């Protein structure tokens, strides 16, 4: 994983809020914070699992694996394989029903497929049919945010 040292972004701190490396944001006041799901001074460590979510750091194998989550909770899953490989993800279903026509981060699922985890990923709200993705690198982050309503997802994944 890339480490982001303070010197790397020091010259750009004079600008507005910027993104630095893959997992750290710096502000002009020299404050930094990690992308959700990472921790430590340089955001290179995966955060411990959130309550009631089960294992959050999942190693992907060649055989098909399944992750199923139901109910109202907030979870972050790191789905990783060997560097240089990609991950195929197939959602059998995703249902994040909020009663609103607006997709909000407080009631949605997000899948980060790109190497830069500071970018917003694919957002899912409401009921979604089968969906297949291929990651752009070896690490996918899945955020499941369902705080007030019912729903869930069933995901199958494997190394490509």
- Which residue do the tokens 């291929």 mark? 134
Q: Where are the alpha helices (DSSP H) in 23-120?
A: none
Position 107 scores a pLDDT of 79
Fold of 57-159: Jelly Rolls (2.60.120)
Domain ranges of the chain: 6-46, 57-159
Q: Please answer whether residues 135 and 87 qualify as being in contact, where contact means their C-beta atoms are separated by less than 8 angstroms.
A: yes
- Predicted confidence (pLDDT) at residue 125 exceeds the cutoff of 50: yes
Q: How confident is the model at residue 6 (pLDDT cuts 50, 70, 90)?
A: very low
Q: Which residues pair with 144 in a beta bridge?
A: 75, 109
Rounded mean pLDDT, 18-44: 64
Phi first, then psi: what are they for 69, rounded to 5°?
-130, 135
Distance, CA of 116 to CA of 98 (rounded, Å)? 28
Closest CA to 90 of 116, 110, 64, 72: 64
Chain segment 40-93, per-residue pLDDT in tens: 777 888 888 877 888 999 999 999 999 999 988 889 999 999 999 999 999 998
- Which residue do the tokens 């972050």 mark? 76
């Amino acid at each position: 994983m890339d480490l982001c040292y303070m010197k790397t972004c020091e010259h750009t701190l004079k600008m507005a809020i910027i993104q630095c490396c893959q997992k750290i944001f710096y502000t002009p006041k020299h404050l930094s914070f990690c992308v959700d799901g990472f921790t430590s001074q340089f955001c290179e460590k995966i955060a411990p699992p959130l309550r009631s979510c089960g294992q959050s750091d999942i190693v992907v194998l060649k055989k098909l694996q399944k992750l199923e989550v139901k109910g109202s909770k907030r979870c972050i899953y790191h789905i990783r394989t060997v560097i240089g490989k990609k991950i195929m993800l197939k959602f059998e279903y995703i249902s994040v029903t909020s009663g609103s026509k607006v997709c909000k981060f407080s009631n949605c699922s997000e899948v980060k497929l790109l190497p830069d985890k500071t970018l917003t990923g694919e957002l899912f709200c409401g009921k979604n049919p089968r969906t297949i993705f291929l990651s752009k690198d070896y690490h996918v982050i899945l955020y499941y945010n369902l705080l007030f309503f019912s729903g869930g997802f069933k995901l199958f994944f494997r190394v490509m």
